[in-house]
Copies of this chain bind each other. A is one copy, B any other.
Amino acid sequence: MTKFVYLFEEGNQSMRALLGGKGANLAEMTNLDLPVPPGFTITTEACNAYYEMGEQISDEISDEIRHSLKALQDHTGKALGNPEKPLVVSVRSGARASMPGMMDTVLNLGFNDRVVEGMAKLTHNRRFAFDAYRRFIMMFADVVMEIDKNEFESIMDQVKKARGVTKDTELNAKDLEEVTHKSLARYAEIKGEPFPQDPTNQLMAAIEAVFKSWNNPRAQYYRRMNNIPQSWGTAVNVQEMVYGNMGEKSASGVAFSRNPAVGDNHIYGEYLPNAQGEDVVAGVRTPVALDEMKQWLPEVYDQFCDMAKRLEQHYGDMQDLEFTIEEGQLFLLQTRNGKRTAQAAIKVAVDMVEEGLVTKDRALMQINPASLDTLLHPRFNREELAKAEPICKGLPASPGAASGQIVFSAKDASRQVLNGKKVILVRKETSPEDIEGMHIAEGILTARGGMTSHAAVVARGMGKCCITGCSDLLIDEKAKTMTVKGVVYKEGDVLSLDSSTGLVYDREIHTVPAEIAGDFETVMNWAKETSKMNVRANADNPADVQKALDLGAGGVGLTRTEHMFFEKDRIFQFRRMILAKTKEERLEALDKIRPIQQGDFEGIFRALKGLPATIRLLDPPLHEFLPKKDQEITDLAGSMGLDTEEVKKVIESLQESNPMLGMRGCRLAVVFPEIAEMQTAAIIRAAINVKKEGIDVYPEIMVPLICTVKELSFLRKVISNVADKLIEESGIDMHYNVGTMIEIPRAALTADEIAPVADFFSYGTNDLTQMGFGLSRDDAGPVLDTYYQRGIFENDPTAILDQKGIGRLVKISSKEAREVKPEIHLGICGEHGGEPSSVKFLHGLNFDYVSCSPFRVPIAILSAAQAQIENPRDYLSSDLEHFFGREK
C-alpha cells in the first residue's frame, strides 16, 4: 500500500521527490535534532492522486491524514479545537522544486470561537489571540473560499479609522475582537453560511486548496518558465504554529548563510520583531538587518549562526532559512539551498572550493547555468555613471543595470512592451500577480520590502535588475505618478537602475558589454576542463565572432550568409540577383556580391585564428529580401531600370502559401547552382587570403534544409568543383569540410544515406521542431496560449528541445550516422544549443559541439560540464582534440 502521509521524523532530505523540498528538509532538520515545530507532510503522490480522481481527496488519503493528525496531537499533548490545549497549525505547499509564492498557504488553522477564548486565557494575551483568529478568517476566506481579501482588509481599515489610528499595531485587544466579529459576519453574509467551526473540516479544506493551487495560472506560468513538469505535484506540510508575534521577545525572519546577492561568506538576513513570517516576505514593513539581533538577543543570535553554519556544512551548499523566535525561543521553519544571483553563485562556488567545503564538481553543480545570462548583461558606462546624479537609493536586491520608461502596473508593462518600449516596473511592493510584468520589464523598483521580499526573491530568480525598499519613493498608482523628494515622475519618464549599488537615476545611462574575469573566469575554466563537448557560437560578422571568443566559444557553429545582405548598400545587388531574368544577368549580379561576401569571411577567419567556422549557404526564401511596399517597389524598379509592374509580378510569383515549406534552403542552390558557386568562391578565396597572411583557417561549408542525400551529393559536387580548383590555383595546402544541416524530419530518418556524403551534421532543431510538431513558430501564439491553459504543452518546444519526439529524431539519426561513419562530426546550431536541458541531452548523444548565440556560450559551457559530472561519457569531442589538443 502506498504511504501518502509522513511525520517529519519519518522522512529525510533524500525524499525530496515525494515530500517536496520543504517537507524533506523539515524532516532532515527534525532528525538533526534542530528546533523544528512538529508536523507531517502529505506527499506529492497524494496531490497527483487528487487530480487523477477528478480533484477529490480519496478516503484512503483522508484516513491517513487523520491518523497522522492524531500522532501530532499525541506528540504535542494538544488537540485541534480543544480550548484548553489548542493545537494550531500552518498548512503550506512544498513542491520538489522551490516555487516561492506561487502556491497557497493557510496559517493559524485551528482557531474558532471557542479556541480563541482558550488561547487568550492560555497566553494571557487576548490581543494576540484575536489577531491570530482574524488573520485566519481572512486567509481561509481568501485561499480556500476564494473571497476577495479586500472584503476583510476594509474592515480593519474601518476600525482603524474609527479609532483614529493608522497602524495595525496600534489596535488593542478589544478592537481586534470587533474586527474578528465583523469578519465572521461578513463571511457569513457572502457565503450564506457561518464560518466553519470544526477545525478538522478547516484542515481538509485547506489541504485541498493547496493541492488546487498547484494548477493556478501563476504556478503554471512559473513552471513553464523554469521547466518544472506538471506531473511532479506539490506536497502539503501541516505543522504546529509558532508565533513570532507573541510579544516583545518574539520575531520572524529569514536569512541566508551567505549573501545571496553578491556571495560574501557572511550570514545575511532580516527579521521583523513581533511579527508573523508572512509579514517579512510580503514586504509590508521594512525589516531589521540580522546583525542587529547581536545586541537584541545575543544568545539567540549565536545559536542561529551556529545552526546556519551547521546546515550549510550538512547540505554542502548555501542555505536559505526561515525562523521564528517565540518568547525568546528559536524555531527553524525551513531550510533550503538558497537561491542566489549568478554573481553570488560564482563567488560561493569558488569560496566553498577554497574553504575545502565542496569539490569542484560539486561547486559547478551548484550554479544554475541559465542564471549566468545575467552576468553577461551589459553594465552602465562608468563615465556616464560618474556624471549622473542619483535621485534616491534602495536595496541592491538583484544586480544589473537597466534603463526604461516608468510603468506602474504589470498590465501597463505588457501594453508598453508590446509597443516596443523598454520599461521599469515601479510598485509599492510586488505580489505574485505581478510575475509576468516583472518578467518583461527591464528592471523593478519597489518602495517597500527588503532583500528577501517577494520582488527581491523573484527578481533574483529571473536574473532581473531589481532595487527594493526605496523608502524615498511615494507612489500614487491611480494617478500613475511617483514622487521623490518633491519631484514628480509620471508614466513614460525614463529611469535607470544600478542594482549593484541600489542607486536610481532619472535619465538614460548607456551600457557597456560584460566581461569574464575573476571568479567567473575561474568557474568557466573549471567547466571547460570538465566538459567533453565543445561550445561554438552562432555569429555572422567579425565583431560577433570576437564577442563569442571573449565569452569562451571554441569556434563558430553557424554563420548565416544572408544576414550579410540586409545592409542597405548590399541589398541592391542581392535584389538584382533575384530579379535577374537570365542566368547571365544573375551571374553578373553575383559577381558584384562575391567580393563583399569574401571580405566578410576574411574578417571572420582572421578573428577565429584557426578555430573552425561553419558557414551556411543562402537559406531564406528569396522574397524575404524584396521590398513589400508599393513605393519601395517603384524605387527598386526605377533604380534597376525595370518596369514597376514587372517587379511586382516577380515579387508576386515568389509568394508562397507556406514559405516555411517552400523554395528555400538548399532548394535555392539546386535551382540556381550559381549562387552556391559564388558563395563557395567567396569562402574559399577568403580562406586562401587569410591563410596567406599566416593565420590558420578551417572552413566548413554547410548545406541547409536537405531532405534527401541526392541534394547533398549534387551540391557537394557543385561546391568541390569550385573549391578544389581555387585551392589548386592558389598552391596553398588547405582543407575544407562540406556538411549539412539536419532540420527536416526525412533527413533525420535517412541519416544512414546522408552521412557517407557529409563531413558533418549540424542539427537545425528550430526547423526540425516546427516540422516535427507541424507548428510554425510564427503562427503558434494562439495555439500555445490555449495549450498551456489546458496543460497540453508545459513549455514551448522551440525553446526547450522536446526530447521524446524531436529528440528521438536527433537520437536515431546521430546513432545511425555514426554507425555508417564513426568519424562524422555532430553539432547543433538551433536555439536549443544554449538551453541547459537540451545541452545535457546532446552530451548524452556524444555530440561534438553545441552552437548558440554568443551570450549563451558560458551557459552552454557550464551545462556541458554539469552533463559530464551527472552522466560521464568517454567520447571526447574531436573539436576539443583537434583545436585544443585535449587528449582522449
Copies in the complex: 2
User: A753-774 vs B: 1/0 string, CB under 8 Å?
Assistant: 1000000000000010011111
CA distance A300 to B809 in the complex (A): 66
The verdict on A809 contacting B745 (CB below 8 Å), with A707-B774, A792-B710 known, is: yes
Shortest CB-to-CB span from A182 to chain B, Å, is 39
Per the 8 Å Cβ criterion, residues 766-820 of A in contact with B are 767, 770-776, 778-780, 782-783, 786-787, 790-793, 802, 804-806, 808-809
The verdict on A749 contacting B711 (CB below 8 Å), with A744-B772, A779-B662, A786-B671 known, is: no
Interface centre among A658, A773, A775 (most CB of B within 10 A): A658
Instruction: Name 21 interchain pairs, CB-CB below 8 A, sorted by A.
Output: A658-B660, A658-B778, A659-B779, A661-B771, A662-B780, A662-B783, A663-B779, A670-B790, A670-B792, A707-B774, A707-B775, A714-B792, A745-B771, A745-B805, A745-B809, A746-B772, A746-B774, A746-B802, A746-B806, A749-B804, A750-B805
Residue of B nearest to A807 (CB): B749
Q: Is A705 an interface residue, CB under 8 A from the partner?
A: yes
Q: Is A656 an interface residue, CB under 8 A from the partner?
A: yes
Shortest CB-to-CB span from A832 to chain B, Å, is 15
Residue of B nearest to A804 (CB): B750
User: A657-700 vs B: 1/0 string, CB under 8 Å?
Assistant: 11111110001001100000000000000000000000000000
Residue of B nearest to A713 (CB): B792
Q: Which A residues are closer than 8 A to B by beta carbons?
A: 656-663, 667, 670-671, 705, 707-708, 710-711, 714, 743-746, 749-750, 753, 767, 770-776, 778-780, 782-783, 786-787, 790-793, 802, 804-806, 808-809
CA distance A661 to B771 in the complex (A): 8
The verdict on A783 contacting B745 (CB below 8 Å), with A661-B774, A767-B774, A776-B657 known, is: no
Chain B neighbourhood of A656, CB < 8 A? 776, 778-779
Please pick, from B657, B743, B805, the residue contacting A659 in the complex, using a CB distance under 8 A: B657
CA distance A708 to B772 in the complex (A): 11
Shortest CB-to-CB span from A765 to chain B, Å, is 13
Known A657-B778, A667-B786, A749-B809; 19 more pairs at CB < 8 Å: A656-B779, A657-B660, A658-B658, A658-B776, A658-B778, A662-B783, A667-B783, A670-B787, A707-B775, A710-B791, A743-B774, A744-B774, A745-B745, A745-B771, A746-B802, A749-B772, A767-B774, A771-B771, A771-B772
CA distance A774 to B793 in the complex (A): 23
Please pick, from B711, B744, B776, the residue contacting A662 in the complex, using a CB distance under 8 A: B776
Chain B neighbourhood of A782, CB < 8 A? 663, 671
The verdict on A711 contacting B792 (CB below 8 Å), with A658-B659, A660-B657, A670-B787 known, is: yes
Chain B neighbourhood of A780, CB < 8 A? 662
Q: Is the CB of A661 within 8 A of B663?
A: no
CA distance A753 to B749 in the complex (A): 20
Chain B neighbourhood of A663, CB < 8 A? 779, 782-783
Chain B neighbourhood of A805, CB < 8 A? 707-708, 745-746, 749-750
Q: Is the CB of B746 within 8 A of A658?
A: no
Q: Is the CB of B808 within 8 A of A773?
A: no
Residue of B nearest to A785 (CB): B671
Q: Is the CB of B772 within 8 A of A745?
A: yes
CA distance A786 to B656 in the complex (A): 17
Shortest CB-to-CB span from A689 to chain B, Å, is 31
Q: Is the CB of A775 within 8 A of B661?
A: yes
Chain B neighbourhood of A779, CB < 8 A? 656-659, 661-663
CA distance A351 to B708 in the complex (A): 46
Chain B neighbourhood of A670, CB < 8 A? 786-787, 790, 792
Shortest CB-to-CB span from A777 to chain B, Å, is 9
CA distance A291 to B821 in the complex (A): 65
CA distance A743 to B594 in the complex (A): 43
Chain B neighbourhood of A790, CB < 8 A? 670, 714
CA distance A59 to B714 in the complex (A): 26
Chain B neighbourhood of A776, CB < 8 A? 656-658, 660-662
CA distance A808 to B662 in the complex (A): 23
CA distance A774 to B780 in the complex (A): 17
CA distance A782 to B750 in the complex (A): 24
Shortest CB-to-CB span from A48 to chain B, Å, is 15
Shortest CB-to-CB span from A804 to chain B, Å, is 6
Chain B neighbourhood of A657, CB < 8 A? 659-660, 776, 778-779
Shortest CB-to-CB span from A454 to chain B, Å, is 32
Chain B neighbourhood of A802, CB < 8 A? 746
The verdict on A774 contacting B772 (CB below 8 Å), with A657-B779, A661-B661, A804-B750 known, is: no
Chain B neighbourhood of A745, CB < 8 A? 745, 771-772, 774, 805, 809
The verdict on A708 contacting B746 (CB below 8 Å), with A661-B775, A783-B671 known, is: no
CA distance A667 to B753 in the complex (A): 35
Shortest CB-to-CB span from A569 to chain B, Å, is 29
CA distance A670 to B714 in the complex (A): 44
Residue of B nearest to A808 (CB): B749
Chain B neighbourhood of A753, CB < 8 A? 804
Residue of B nearest to A750 (CB): B805
Shortest CB-to-CB span from A693 to chain B, Å, is 37
Residue of B nearest to A794 (CB): B710
Interface centre among A670, A671, A707, A804 (most CB of B within 10 A): A707
Please pick, from B661, B710, B773, B775, the residue contacting A770 in the complex, using a CB distance under 8 A: B661
Residue of B nearest to A791 (CB): B710
CA distance A744 to B671 in the complex (A): 28
Chain B neighbourhood of A774, CB < 8 A? 660-661, 705, 707, 743-746, 767, 771
Chain B neighbourhood of A778, CB < 8 A? 656-658
Chain B neighbourhood of A771, CB < 8 A? 661, 745, 771-772, 774
